[in-house]
Amino acid sequence: MTLTFPEIAIPPDLARDDMPDLLRHWYLGPRARRHMMMRRFAEVDRHLDLAAGRRVLDVGSAWGFNVMALNRLGFHAVGIDIVPDPFVVGKRIADYNGVPFDVLGADASALPFPDARFDHVTLVETFEHIFVDDRARAMGECYRVLRPGGRIVLSTPNHASLVESAKRVAVRHRWLRAKLPSMCLPDLGTARADYHPYRYHRPWPDRDIAALLTRTGFRIRSVSHFLFMLKSTPDSLYASWSLLERAGERTPAVRDLAATVCVVADKP
């Protein structure tokens, strides 16, 4: 199913310097970056079904785009993030668009909600930023707050992708590491005392994510790969690159090297 999001308008008096990076550089960024962001949300949210229930918990909401988008699509979305600072700007944008904005600061490994509260849980590019020792608890919490028959859908960088493989090579060389954004680099063993989600990036192989969800009690429905767009793609090459992306996603041997993985699982 192809999902088209309603446009979320940005207040004209919101200064760019006041915008969170994910808003300024991705949602309002060049065409390739916006495409990359919107594809990830679309690939996650297309697995949600209004007929199965409206209540969605969005984990790792950042400035709250998915909360606003899901509410526009007819869901009742609640968002949490361990770094709630961007919610101030998100609330301003939500008010401008007349969209409900139910968000709070919380840790994915200690969700402040009762059991079986939600019909769906989404994590869009969040799993890789959860401290590795907390991932089992975080998935256990997602399981707990889902009703029986509920669904979790997450997107995360594909550990086997060309991009992540190149990053793992790059971090071994200081001169390359210095040229790459810290948020995107593979973690090399950060201590808990030094942990910050924006600087922590540790994707897992598909099989490890699926194994964790299975141990938690979920039943895996699907694992898919998508996205070959490069964030540096100039607008003049966007159309051509989009054709290559679609061709790659339709070719099984190539598709496994795509930038992003989407995992869908149900709670029995």
Q: What are phi and psi of 4, to 5 degrees?
A: -110, 120
Whether 209 is covered by a domain: the verdict is: yes
The one-letter code for the residue type at 264 is: V
Q: Is the pLDDT of residue 209 over 70?
A: yes
- Cα separation, 60 vs 81, whole angstroms: 5
Residue 230 structure tokens: 């490069």
* CATH number for position 191: 3.40.50.150
Residue 264 structure tokens: 């869908």
Residue 73 structure tokens: 């699509």
What is residue 2's predicted lDDT score, i.e. its pLDDT?
A: 62
What is residue 181's predicted lDDT score, i.e. its pLDDT?
A: 60
Over residues 12-40, the pLDDT tens digits come to 999 999 999 999 999 999 999 999 999 99
The one-letter code for the residue type at 9 is: A
Count of residues making up the chain: 268
Quickly state the pLDDT bin for 199 (edges 50, 70, 90): confident
Over residues 111-151, the pLDDT tens digits come to 999 999 999 999 999 999 999 999 999 999 999 999 999 99
pTM exceeds 0.85 for this model: yes
Whether 11 is covered by a domain: the verdict is: no
Handedness of CA 246, 249, 252, 253 (dihedral sign): positive
Mean pLDDT of 222-226: 97
Whether 12 is covered by a domain: the verdict is: no
Quickly state the pLDDT bin for 234 (edges 50, 70, 90): very high
Whether 5 is covered by a domain: the verdict is: no
Q: Count CB atoms within 10 A of the CB of residue 151.
A: 24
Q: Is the pLDDT of residue 98 over 60?
A: yes
Whether 19 is covered by a domain: the verdict is: no
Whether 207 is covered by a domain: the verdict is: yes
What's the structural domain count of the chain? 1
Q: What is the mean pLDDT of the chain?
A: 94
The number of CA neighbours under 13 Å toward the Cβ of 123 is 28
Q: Is the pLDDT of residue 179 over 70?
A: no
Q: Is the pLDDT of residue 165 over 90?
A: no
Domain residue limits at 175: 26-266
> Do the beta carbons of residue 97 and residue 64 sit within 8 Å?
no
Mean pLDDT of 62-86: 97
Residue 74 structure tokens: 């007819």
Whether 236 is covered by a domain: the verdict is: yes
What is residue 183's predicted lDDT score, i.e. its pLDDT?
A: 55
- Cα separation, 89 vs 158, whole angstroms: 30
Q: Which residue has the tokens 């028959």?
A: 149
Whether 128 is covered by a domain: the verdict is: yes
